[in-house]
Structure 1
Amino acid sequence: MFWESLLVTFGMVFLAELGDKTQLATMLLATQKKSLLGVFIGASTALILASFLGVMLGNILTKYLPPNILKNGAGVAFIILGVVLLISQK
């Protein structure tokens, strides 16, 4: 069970982050900084912390809300965020 969760999570996060604005920002920082190791460690630490917060928040929320509501809520939140980003570009 652990290895299945680990591999599925790795695959999903890895594919989701490819070409993401986080990766693009990290590439931009790497072009401007002298310490590539510093950029790598900073970006990695930020992703680890963001993932940790997501896991903890997800764990807490599942105690109060059924998983299907969380899944649908996340989908609606992404749609709203997308619409807001499209509108704000004008």
Structure 2
Amino acid sequence: MSDILQEVGKKLVFPIDFQAQKEVSKKLTVILSVGVLFTSIYGYITQSLFNLLVAYGVIILVASLVIVPAYPSYNKHKLQWVTPKVVQ
């Protein structure tokens, strides 16, 4: 069982660089902020908590599709490590 979980864990790693982490954080903040505003207004207009929750679920799904996959644009700025020097 643990072998299966380890394989699944390896498949779920989505590496992105530091610059992309900042961009993703900004995108996520904007998407969720606009989404909360939209869903609140939609729920108020329809007078339905159910509609509000469904709309919010759709916003979360859209945000996940935009943010979670490791798109190639998230790896443009590779980190250059300093090469070690051998002291003699």
Would you call these one fold, judging by a TM-score over 0.5?
no
Q: TM-score range by the shorter chain?
A: 0.3 to 0.5
**TM-score normalised according to structure 2 size:** 0.40
**TM-score normalised according to structure 1 size:** 0.39
Structure with a larger share of its residues in helix = 1
Report which of the two structures shows the higher radius of gyration computed on alpha carbons.
2
